[in-house]
Structure 1
Amino acid sequence: MKNTEPVTTIDPRFSDPSAVATPWEETRRVLETAELFWVTTVRANGRPHATPLVAVWLEGAIHFSTGADEQKAVNLRENSHVLLSTGCNSWESGLDVVVEGDAVQTTDEATLKRLAEAWTTKWNGQWQFEVRDGCFYHEAGGSALVFSVTPTKILAFAKGNFGYTRHQF
């Protein structure tokens, strides 16, 4: 997982004349603290599939888990392209963030243990996973695949004083 700083630019075509680019630190803070993300994958027939989930930002990537038979996992077996978005439904304030990249299944035990700890910490113990056989396991008895998305591009949409920022990796 890379930890490089992106090239950050504002797109004046879609921004208020007085808007400035959202700093990477502010965008990253949204990724680190968001409680809910929407993941969009591509079905075999080319149609999009979107669903909410929890995720964690760690070591320059965003990570999420899913059951092996859930639609998003089925889609990712054929097409790794993914969007993860978060933000708020307010028009006058806030920051919406969209992460573009490819979802890669994470099976490395050391990485999974760091991710399990990140979930536990972020959610004050509400999400606890055991790591074994390259998956997360939870107390309800189910297993979950873990995917990591190292972003190729992150878009940040500032509201109020509207700004369209691109963080290119």
Structure 2
Amino acid sequence: MTAEVLKNAENPKGTSAFIFSQTAPGPTQPWGWAENLLKSASTYWLVTTSPDGRPHSRPLWGIWQRNTFWFSSQNRCGEFLKVNPRASVNLQVGEDVVMVEGSCSRVIGDDINVLAEGVGVKYDWELSVSEDRVHTRFGQSAPVFRLNPERIYGWAGIAGWESATRWDFPQS
């Protein structure tokens, strides 16, 4: 396990989030609520920025492990992340909201197995691993990334803004 992943191993403490031009009155959501949603979601939306500043969003599969979001993509977002590693990932479902903001880094070596094993368990989808990519049984391959969270926002229910919570992750 890399030092980058280890530094996010502790659970963050939530505080009331500033949203809709005011601080949510609370009570805040517990971290376990957000973590459960991040682990159990089937589809996520990844938002990156193209080199000319246009936002780019796309649905994808991923896993939440070790307080980090792991994914692979053969889409152009991988090229965008080389220019600007800042990204956001959101749950596909909008009733209970969890939004992760942070920076992405490319995963190489043994850490690729975190994604391959997690995808196998979560989606029953077999991926083989090489030094710098995952591969499907259909011959497709893609680089692996992890989004290291800096801040996560979440609230329960469409009208649940009162519970809007912000979790900050320490940065090196």
Find 2:78's aligned residue among 48, 73, 81.
73
What amino acid sits opposite 2:101 in the alignment? Answer: E
Task: Measure, in 2, the Cα distance between the counterparts of 1:121 and 1:154.
Answer: 25
1:82 CA drift (Å)? 0.4
CA contact (8 A) 2:17 2:153 kept: no
The gaps in structure 1 that reach 5 residues or longer are none
Task: Measure, in 1, the Cα distance between the counterparts of 2:160 and 2:152.
Answer: 19
Cross-structure match for 2:13: 7
Task: Measure, in 1, the Cα distance between the counterparts of 2:68 and 2:107.
Answer: 12
CA contact (8 A) 2:71 2:115 kept: no
Find 2:87's aligned residue among 67, 82, 86.
82
Say what the alpha-carbon RMSD is for the aligned residues: 1.5
Cross-structure match for 2:102: 101
Find 1:152's aligned residue among 129, 135, 150.
150
1:164 CA drift (Å)? 1.4
Q: Does 1:54 align with 2:61?
A: yes
Cross-structure match for 1:130: 128
Identity %: 26
What's the TM-score once normalised by structure 1's chain length? 0.87
Find 1:30's aligned residue among 22, 25, 37.
37
Find 2:138's aligned residue among 137, 140, 147.
140
- How many aligned positions are there? 158
What's the TM-score once normalised by structure 2's chain length? 0.86
CA contact (8 A) 1:87 1:97 kept: no
SS in 1 for 2:36: helix
CA contact (8 A) 2:44 2:59 kept: yes
Moved over 4 A (4+): none
The gaps in structure 2 that reach 5 residues or longer are none
Q: Does 1:44 align with 2:51?
A: yes
The CA deviation string for residues 84-103 of structure 1, in whole angstroms up to 9 with x for no partner, is 001524xxxx4111001111
Distance 1:161 1:100, change over 3 A: closer
